[in-house]
Chain A
Amino acid sequence: MNKLATSELEATALQIRRDILKMIYAAGTGHPGAALCAVEIVTALYFREMRIDPANPDWPERDRFILSKGHACPVLYATLARRGYYPMCDLDNLRKINCPLQGHPDMKKTCGVDMTAGSLGNGLSVGVGMALGARLNGLPSRIYVLLGDGELQEGMVWEAAMSASHYKLASLTAVVDWNGLQLDGRVEDVMNINPLGPKWRDFGWHVQEIDGHSFPQVLGAFAEARRVTDKPSVILAHTVKGKGVSFMENEVDWHGRTPSRDEMKQAMLELGEVWNG
């Protein structure tokens, strides 16, 4: 399948932001802030970076993506639909009974989801196992794990970080969605995780720090990660929680809130669509 040029990525990202809001509005429940801030990262992965074939979702040689911050799944679901894994109309049924799009990703229910996720702190360990598995199978597969910054408070993340560098898993790339907020407030107030760069470096990782909303920077960081052959890579991506909707941006209350009809109207207008629900 054709990979998108950067200008097309911008247009796709805008569509995905609208999809996310529509899904969460229809569901009446979900996490808009966390989904909106990861749009560029997930779009870049599925429309440019990853070796995948939506017509053949179980292709063994494909790259894998683990959304360790599983509550951001509307961004993954919208991206998979736009990439052709399932019809767009499936997005209307997020979090509804008897439907494939669960409140957090389920690899057995949703086409294209490589790993079940949602309980924070676990995805990087699974990524370590996948990278080891790819190596054992002689596959070129690369493994991508998207982590939240608050999630780094989980000790298991650092067990995984230690083992990834111990086993020199260069096919493993972690992205930290560094938006600075978690459910209870600012990450540095709840439980400070800084300094982040030195931590990952000390754990033996190749570290890059970028603007997570800039496609050239996101794509450049993935390209650099691919050139590292002796250690895993982490991309510390500065993002804005709720990115794209003025009244959601950097607002901790939008972690798990659903917009009202009026708020939805305004949000969609800011994203370039007249919406009348």
Chain B
Amino acid sequence: MAEIATRIAYGLELAELGERYPDMVVLDADISKSTNTFYFTRKYPERSFNFGIAEQNMMGAAAGLAAMGKIPLANTYAVFASMRACEQVRTFICYPNLNVKIVVSHGGLAVGSDGVTHQGTEDIGTMRCMPNMTIVSPADGTATRKLLPQIIEHCGPVYYRLGRNPTPIVYDESEEFQLGRAKLLRQGADVTIIAAGIMVSESLKAVALLAAKGISARLLDMHTIKPIDRAAVVSAAEETGAIVAAEDHNIIGGLGSAVAEVICETRPVPMERIGLRDVFGESGEPDALFEKYSMSARHIAEAAERAIARKGK
């Protein structure tokens, strides 16, 4: 399977979109070589501003630029955007509903060897409780590129969560995406796996494992975590009667919580959550970490079987 890190797919596409969006401005906090915005900043230096290692100031300046009618994309890692600059995002971007796009690399345990300081595993929870915020976590490089123009054109704050390491290409070039709409990747009748980001490709493997056991699993790519596609979640609950949420994030506050909120309020069915079970990760190879923290395809498939077994009980 071909692979590309979503942060690289983003950087390349961003540079391509410079001409189409003349009001777009790219902000960095020293790590443009890592977030891959350097493709853009080389091409459009007059619309690129590096703030150095000062994320709070970058977010504040992003608010100011948005107030002047620009479309700032503030780039850093998930941990720094969601926690170091958390209050700036809340009070000066979300509260006045300013048109700032926060694009982060290094979302999740999949960061791997850098360890906990650089693994953003609470960011979606933090961002999700901010009114006006839209949260998007693309599954692969194709989704990353195709969702980017919609994110730029969306009026209001967006948190775009990307990954550090190469991840499998899930989607063909012909696939279309719509912000706020879950993508049905596999139709199925016995259980629905709702995944986001890197967990989509992991869940595809889980679907195959389940199929080998005669279990028909539906797979939804919930790339837009907020606002969540409630209709897709409710139909999944009604039509398959069991749900597994899979995310590279603490199971508290992220996609699993969002899905649980919807099904509890609408159509309660057995549900299992895959993700970090309220612990911090550690350094290591992503695959080994996913195995150790019960987040690999095998664990997703087992969770699906547990959920199915609980039906009607």
Q: Using a CB–CB distance below 8 Å, which chain A residues touch chain B?
A: 60, 64, 106-108, 114-116, 118-119, 122-134, 136-137, 139, 156, 159-160, 162-163, 167
List the 6 closest A-B pairs by CB distance, nearest first.
A129-B64, A125-B60, A133-B68, A129-B61, A159-B57, A159-B54
Say whether B97 contacts A108, CB under 8 Å: yes
Could you tell me the distance between the alpha carbons of A162 and B60 in the complex, rounded to whole angstroms? 14
Q: Is B136 on the interface with A (CB-CB < 8 A)?
A: no
A137, B69: Cβ atoms under 8 Å?
Answer: yes
Whether A156 contacts B56 by the Cβ 8 Å rule is yes
Residue in contact with A163 in the complex, picked from B54, B65, B72, B96, CB distance below 8 Å: B54
Interface string of B49-62 (1 = CB under 8 A from A): 10110101111111
Report if B63 contacts A (CB, 8 A).
yes
- Given the complex, which residues of A lie within 8 Å of B56, measured CB to CB? 122, 125, 156, 159
- Indicate if the CB atoms of B60 and A126 lie closer than 8 Å: yes
Which of B56, B59, B64, B72 has the largest number of chain A CB atoms within 10 A? B64
Contact A134 B91 (CB under 8 A): no
Complex: A159 Cα to B54 Cα, angstroms: 6
Kindly state the separation between the CA atoms of A125 and B93 in the bound complex, as whole angstroms.
Answer: 12
Q: Which chain A positions have C-beta within 8 A of B65?
A: 129-130, 132-133, 136
Interface size on B, residues (CB 8 A): 30
| A131–B52 CA distance with the chains assembled, in angstroms | 18
Using known A-B contacts A108-B96, A133-B70, A163-B57, determine if residue A119 contacts B87 with beta carbons closer than 8 Å: yes
Mind listing 22 A-B residue pairs with CB under 8 Å?
A64-B67, A107-B67, A107-B96, A115-B64, A115-B67, A122-B91, A129-B64, A129-B67, A130-B68, A132-B68, A133-B64, A133-B65, A133-B68, A133-B70, A134-B68, A136-B46, A136-B47, A137-B68, A139-B68, A160-B57, A163-B52, A167-B49
Q: What is the chain A residue whose CB lies nearest that of B64?
A: A129
- Smallest CB-CB separation from B91: which chain A residue? A119
Residues of the A chain whose Cβ atoms lie less than 8 Å from the Cβ of B58? 125
* Known A128-B60, A130-B64: A136·B70 in contact at CB below 8 Å: yes
Complex-state Cα separation, A108 to B66, whole angstroms:
13
**Closest chain B CB from A149 CB (angstroms):** 19
Q: Are B57 and A125 in contact (CB under 8 A)?
A: yes
On whether the beta carbons of A129 and B62 are closer than 8 Å, the reply is yes
Q: B87 to chain A: which residues have CB within 8 Å? A: 119, 122
User: CA A139 – CA B60 in complex, angstroms?
Assistant: 20
Which A residues are in CB contact (< 8 Å) with B66?
A: 129
Given contacts A116-B95, A156-B57, A167-B49, 16 further A-B contacts (CB under 8 A): A60-B69, A106-B95, A106-B96, A108-B97, A115-B92, A116-B96, A119-B92, A122-B56, A125-B59, A126-B64, A129-B64, A129-B72, A130-B68, A133-B68, A137-B69, A159-B54
